[in-house]
Amino acid sequence: MNLTHPFLDADGDKLREECGIFGVIGIQEAAALTALGLHALQHRGQEAVGIVSYDGHEFYTRKGLGHVAQVFSNQQIFAELPGTMASGHVRYSTTGGSGMRNIQPLFADLAAGGFSIAHNGNISNAMHLRNELVRKGAIFQSTSDTEVIIHLVATSRFPKLLDRFVDALRLVEGAYSLICMTPKRMVACRDPLGIRPLVMGRLGDAIVFASETVALDVTGAEFIRQVEPGELVEVTPDGTITCHRPFGEPAARPCIFEHVYFSRPDSIFDNKSVYAVRKEIGAQLAIESPVEADLVVPVPDSGVPAALGFAQQSGIPFELGIIRSHYVGRTFIQPSDGDRTSGVKRKHNANRALVEGKRIVLIDDSIVRGTTSLQIVQMMREAGASEVHMRIASPPTQHSCFYGVDTPERSKLLAAQMDVEAMRQFIHADSLAFVSIDGLYRAVGAEGRNNARPQYCDACFSGEYPTPLTDLVEREAKAAQLSFPVNKVA
């Protein structure tokens, strides 16, 4: 997250981040393998990519805006990133601005040597920490929350780097899965609640870390296990692995939205198949909100597994009533609603011959602003569907995420503004239903949500944030102070 405004960077550009990270130690051409791993994580970040490598003497960096295949477009590039240790990062933000200085991994020369850091997540007290550091004389190079960790490591009073790192993390609130490199080791860690994912694998003698298991599959690495919430795994060039639990073993709160939308369906998240969970959410929806219809139609690609589950549970045939063009980027990242609307049209087209005269159940994973649902329902009607029912494979998204999933400010979330009936009218559907929060928890294998001790972070649905949101609280307090005289005059 950038630190000048929740949605604007210093240049006034929109900058909301979602990320994927990958690292490997103990293999020739580590940077090329990292590019391959990042390619498998491209869905987590499509705007910028960076790789840092280390060859036993020096660190080397290459970063650029664009997809992995564009920035690392030929084999010669890897000659400039030599070494047996490398880590990389893909970032997803909205449009605008060069943003080059925020591309990760970030790198700094500390007193103890080089230090690189790749971060997936979002630090919810980064602004607070940054202000304190700046007051003490720190000079920041980027507007990224991640840079705060570098400064905290640099200024810690502990002599050993690992202790300095833990010392820094103790001050940090929010979500972080990190892959760091120093001349002597790679360190991977997850925040104490394990909000964002991180897994560990083995490729011959090399150890690999990645945001999702799909990156292990693609690079040929064997899945060992997930990095546990609050765990810090240290790997030295000779392959020695040391695990630390500096934060004890608090109850984990992994992000349930990884299951709903964010992770690839062929990944294993929190030791469960994302695909199987999504299908089961669809089955739960069919049980909770059945409807008489002729066809179950997924909104591609995000609604496909849930639609299969809905179809299998209800006995209504699954059909591809919407065909997706694979040559259009994600519509969600278009800056204005107008752009997003035409983006949806370019991306999806009705399979008219199939849907004409049919009662359709449309399935998508979520409604955020409502742009996609509105367009798709209309598209089905224009193609001659006699009824259009919408079923959503998550509860209403009523709250913003402060932990690294891109959601707009609350005022733009349809479900924060309207109840389900008003949303139904807004998207012009014949009926609209969302899976219940307990239905979602059943799909991940629980009996339901444990309201006293929720098993996941579901803040986007429940509004219950599992960590303090210091920056938000301070920002709101400041806004309240600033608006006081105005209110008084008014």
Site for ligand AMP, rule CB under 6 A: 261, 299, 302, 330, 332, 364-373, 405-407
| Residue position matching structure tokens 């294998």 | 445
Residue with tokens 């009824």, as numbered in its chain:
387
Give the residue ranges of DSSP H helices in 12-146: 30-40, 68-71, 126-135
Pairwise CA distance, residues 24 & 19, whole Å: 17
Token representation of residue 193? 């609640």
For residues 117 and 187, the answer to whether their CB atoms sit within 8 Å is no
CA distance 263 to 211: 9
User: Contact, 210 vs 264, CB < 8 A?
Assistant: no
Minimum separation from the CB atom of position 373 to ligand AMP (A)? 6
Considering beta carbons, is residue 38 or 405 the nearer one to ligand AMP?
A: 405
Q: How far is the CB of 268 from ligand AMP (least distance, A)?
A: 21
The two most distant CA atoms of the chain are separated, in Å, by: 73
What are the DSSP calls for 356-416, one per residue? Answer: TT-EEEEEES--SSSHHHHHHHHHHHHTT-SEEEEEESS----S--SSS-----GGG-HHH
Name the one residue in this structure whose structure tokens are 């200085």.
101
Q: Which is nearer to ligand AMP, 168 or 413 (CB)?
A: 413
String of DSSP letters for 285-319: HHHHS----SEEEE-TTTTHHHHHHHHHHH-PPB-
Rounded to a whole number of angstroms, the minimum distance from the CB of residue 342 to ligand AMP is 13
Q: Smallest distance from the beta carbon of 299 to ligand AMP, in angstroms?
A: 6
Closer residue to ligand AMP, CB minimum distance, 30 or 405: 405
Is 180 a residue of the active site? no
Closer by beta carbon to ligand AMP, 367 or else 390: 367
Q: Please, what is the minimum distance in Å from the beta carbon of residue 405 to ligand AMP?
A: 5
| Residue 283 or 405 with smaller CB distance to ligand AMP | 405
Neighbour-count burial for 343-377, b at 16+ CB within 10 Å, e otherwise: bbeebbebbeebbeebbbbbbbbbbbbbbbbbbbb
Tell the smallest beta-carbon distance from residue 414 to ligand AMP (Å).
7
- 216 versus 367: smaller Cβ distance to ligand AMP: 367
* CB contact at 8 A, 443 and 437: no
User: How many other CB atoms are there within 10 angstroms of residue 222's CB atom?
Assistant: 11
- B/e letters for 411-436, b = 16+ CB within 10 Å, e = fewer, are eebbbbeeeeeebbebbebbbbbbbb
Give 316 or 405: the residue with its C-beta nearer to ligand AMP: 405
The minimum distance between CB 372 and ligand AMP, in angstroms, equals 3
Strand pairing of 106-110 and 85-92?
Answer: unpaired
Beta strand 199-203 pairing with 222-226: antiparallel
Taking the complex as a whole, how short is the minimal distance between the CB of residue 460 and ligand AMP, in angstroms?
9
DSSP assignment of 193-238: T--S--EEEEETTEEEEESSHHHHHHHTPEEEEEPPTT-EEEE-TT
Active-site annotation holder among 19, 255, 401, 460: 19
What amino acid positions are annotated as catalytic residues? 19
